[in-house]
Amino acid sequence: MEHIKQNFSIKDLEHLSGVKAHTIRIWEKRYDILDPERTDTNIRTYNGKNLQKLLNIAFLNSHGYKISRISRMDESEIKNLVNRISASSSEENRAKNSFKLAMMNFDDRLFQRTYNQLRENRNFREIFNDVFLPLLDEIGLLWQTDTIKPIHEHYIVELIKQKIYLNIAEIKSETLNKEDDKLYVLFLPYNEIHDVGILYLNYEILNSGKNAIYLGPSLPLENIDYLMEIHKNLIFVSYLTISPVNTNIHDFISSFQDKICQEKMHEFYLFGQRTREIDSSKLPGNIKVQKSISSFTNTL
């Protein structure tokens, strides 16, 4: 398929595997571990099979296996050895490599198979924090270095969001705290569309037995009036990655106070990269900046 990336540069391999390009060249020359093709201008190009083999070799090398030993193994031996390493950290690295391959090849089946294997021994919280979050950090770097394109990032992010939605649905089908009239209201401000973080927050709040709803991305503050006509005991939560665009964070907070807190000072929890711009000494008492999801969920 034309939209699937079939060939990789040595820089791509470096970014995806964590092995320096210089080291890859040495391994090729001394141990003949990869079989790249060359362009008319004598530039190395690598196919998906080369990438998968290098990821497995890098995995073994990071766990103490010398490249000289690995180079004497055939591909089936390498794969079998990778599968036999069962320590927790090994499982995480192996899963991240599988998810990367799934992303590069738009392979739903590989993503699902890897996820199902993780679920055999881990709960969703562990998978998200130990595998998905580090994976998303690495993907962000891959995108910045032009190793992957936005389509790759969008694809894997949507698959992760599907798993969050699935786990939210399972919680809602099992239990809702009808006795607690407090309602956590999660939303993203206008022009904010990065919703993985707030979706996971929704999962954690529900998983703690609290009542919560997510109103979606890019929500104008004025629209919250309709909710406030029905529910009175509201606690607000938002995640600021790029938004509010062209607006000072303190202006956004002032707008929240003016539009939402005229009758009652509702608690407002703020997460995300742009909260670093906030001067906590100038915040009203109901505005609470959170450094991490885990520190917040520990208080629920």
> What's the pLDDT score for residue 244?
65
Residues 52, 111, single domain; the answer is: no
Residues 188, 289, single domain; the answer is: yes
3-class secondary-structure state, position 271: strand
> What's the pLDDT score for residue 92?
85
Listed residues 45, 70, 85: the one ending a domain? 85
Listed residues 25, 53, 85: the one ending a domain? 85
- The residue range of the domain holding 5 is 1-85
Can you give the CATH number for the domain in which 138 is found? 1.10.1240
Residues 182, 288, single domain; the answer is: yes
3-class secondary-structure state, position 220: coil
**Burial class of residue 35 (count of CB atoms within 10 Å of its CB; 0-12, 13-18, 19+):** exposed
Residues 166, 189, single domain; the answer is: no
- Angle between helix 88-105 and helix 48-62 axes, rounded to 10 deg: 170
Residue 246 identity (one-letter amino acid): N
Can you give the CATH number for the domain in which 38 is found? 1.10.1660.10
The mean pLDDT values, 10 residues at a time, for the chain of 300 residues are 63 87 92 87 86 86 88 87 64 87 90 95 94 90 77 94 96 71 91 90 93 92 90 92 74 92 92 85 90 84
Residues 212, 283, single domain; the answer is: yes
- Angle between helix 150-174 and helix 108-119 axes, rounded to 10 deg: 40
Residues 74, 96, single domain; the answer is: no
What is the rounded distance in angstroms from the CA atom of residue 86 to the CA atom of residue 72? 22
> What's the pLDDT score for residue 4?
45
Can you give the CATH number for the domain in which 185 is found? 3.40.50.280
Residues 230, 287, single domain; the answer is: yes
Residues 128, 198, single domain; the answer is: no
> What's the pLDDT score for residue 3?
42
Residues 55, 116, single domain; the answer is: no
State pTM to two decimals.
0.71
Residues 208, 269, single domain; the answer is: yes
Listed residues 174, 198, 224: the one ending a domain? 174
* Number of domains the chain contains: 3
3-class secondary-structure state, position 66: coil
> Strand runs (DSSP E) across 7-84, as ranges?
7-8, 37-38, 44-47
> Which pairing describes strands 268-271 and 287-289: parallel, antiparallel, or unpaired?
parallel
Look up residue 67 and give its two tokens.
């490249």
Residues 284, 189, single domain; the answer is: yes
Residues 198, 112, single domain; the answer is: no
